[in-house]
Structure 1
């Protein structure tokens, strides 16, 4: 293990006091929204129609708005620009981790296209006007450091961007890759008999919210019967580690095992993104999801939260995820080897969670779908 990687592995959790801040400083207080900040999918499609932008699958070379990246042929024959942008608000209290998560989230859209190398990365940063100067001087450099370190891990660097003052903290970026045709995988080649593979567990949104509820005694008591505070903390740590992890290995294996398409699971939830992917397929297929890998403890927490606090719609497939896993369409005979190799390389499993059948470009979660505690 390199010295730099060893230092990252041993990095201590963020302690506000150690940085000269109040003990009760929480980054997540500088926004009113977290992972459910996306414009609803139906409204977004109407807005995109107003732009005159649509998904183009007719020529096999370009993608407009609607999926993870745009793929735009350049004036140079055989060369396309693959590009994406993303940003969101703080959902963890460690500024360094928040920076890493934001960078991983931006790059994930490239990885969903099977693109493994980012040629240029920009950072978008909105610094909250509610921060005091001492808070701003501590938090902002840590967040930028996390973003930069994640970019370096991905083999790229931050070469510009924009920083502004804003009522809420915002962090994200723009990722671009200049690709030949064999360097990306179009997302629309699913055929009946394929299977769906997911590379990260679900439930990050429940985990980060439950972690905040620990400090809100009245709210935590509503879930105390199904999960201990220690259980919440473990789920939060698992979610933070998952969100910080790049999908680059998954993208590499997509190409190795002949993926027929993919998307990453983020703000619209597992089913929302599966539906979006199903709609763009060339063949008339359906996606049937039969398994839901969920961070340990978050399935029961989501159920009781739905009754007493807020319904995240986790089991219905619409709970937002941040920097979630890749949902990959693979030939059935290759999916097992894909899952085995990604676990060997990352130390974390992948799961076969669904089937591709003949159908009408829809996706659904089976009534008898099973939950896998991850």
Structure 2
């Protein structure tokens, strides 16, 4: 479907925020510097803490049961309040799926400019979040709200998992295929939407699609390593996984799925600042073939919102985009 412009009387939520979605994340290098002194606090039952920069915390309750805890929120990524709620909820639930778990309860996290935007609009955001969580039977019970100059929405989510099924970002082994379960280009399209008001249904469908099936398939296949691809882009999240696991990777850029409209947005210059920062951060660990262009690398570093899973191993029905190798760093071919 071709993009359509919003009507003049549509209240443009994205105009109330300096950025949008996961592209608003604090740059990865700055974030790591800020939390570096906080690692190493894990007790014996903390299976996943801050040390590897994984998607969620995991604490063992008993030998066959662990709890997964995560929180995620961001400024409006689309202008439609209900869709923003759906996207933010899918993104928050994704951290649990990235660990191989099942979400069991969520609470809302809301910042709202109450004197600027009507409360009825906030209700639509919350309604979207409940709708997506309801798809997987995860109750949304209460939450916390503050009066905030910029609208923000997300969820804190609690999940469960048998520790033997845990997917981690520090468990990648060399000689394994890399699978990506959603196409890239969401940051480019979200930035174009913010700048022009054009609506991209394929981006909304991608962002609201849950990673539940891919997560379950990875656990069933006995795989051990995964992460979700969000604000740090494919290259950023892959770099974190490789660094934590002590391996390297080769990426076949022609095998990486990209939304068609995102290639047009790239050509027209709608590159988010977060995508450029991602590439700057990972570039020292990157080598590229002579025919790999800067545009190719921008797409691979594009800041995603509610992106797919990057799984070490092959999942039927999803594209293999490369493979892990001994050594360090990322080679793009």
TM-score, scaled to structure 2: 0.83
Cα distance in 2 for partners of 1:238, 1:39 equals: 27
Partner residue, 1:273: 237
Q: Which residue of 2 aligns with 1:81?
A: 67
Aligned mates of 2:10, 2:261 — CA distance in 1:
26
The separation in 1 between residues aligned to 2:231 and 2:16, in whole angstroms, is 20
Q: Secondary structure at the match of 1:273?
A: helix
| TM-superposed deviation, 1:60 | 10
1:290 to 247, 252, 257: 252
Residue of structure 1 aligned with 2:86, choices 100, 111, 114: 100
Which of 132, 135, 140 in structure 2 is aligned with 1:153? 135
Question: Are the equivalent residues in 1 in contact too, given 2:168–2:227 (CA < 8 A)?
Answer: no
TM-superposed deviation, 1:181:
1.7
Equivalent pairs, count? 305
Any unmatched runs of 5+ in structure 1? 1-12, 17-21, 216-231, 341-349, 369-374
Change in 2 beyond 3 A, CA 1:44/1:77: same
Matched, 1:41 2:8: no
Aligned to 1:327: 310
Counterpart in the other structure of 2:163: 181
Query: Which of 1 and 2 has greater Rg?
Result: 1
State how 1:123-134 maps to structure 2 within 5 Å: 123-129=108-114, 131-132=116-117
Distance in 1 of aligned mates of 2:194 and 2:143: 31
CA contact (8 A) 1:127 1:170 kept: yes
Among residues 169, 172, 186, which one is paired with 2:154 in the alignment? 172
Distance 1:269 1:310, change over 3 A: closer
Q: Which runs of 5+ in 2 are unaligned?
A: 277-294
How far apart, in 2, do the equivalents of 1:321 and 1:101 lie?
A: 12
Tell me, yes or no, if the aligned pair for 2:231 and 2:274 is still in contact at 8 Å. Answer: no
Instruction: Write the distance in 1 (CA, Å) between the matches of 2:270 and 2:14.
Output: 22
Cα RMSD after superposing both structures: 2.7
**Alpha-carbon distance in 1 for matches of 2:188, 2:249:** 25
Q: 2:316 aligns with which of 324, 332, 339?
A: 339
Higher RCO (Cα < 8 Å, 6 or more apart): 2
Question: Within 2, Cα distance between the matches of 1:59 and 1:353?
Answer: 36
Determine the structure 2 residue equivalent to 1:68.
Answer: 55
Contact 1:33 1:89 (C-alpha < 8 Å) held by counterparts: yes
Cα distance change on mapping 1:45 and 1:151 into 2, 3 Å = same
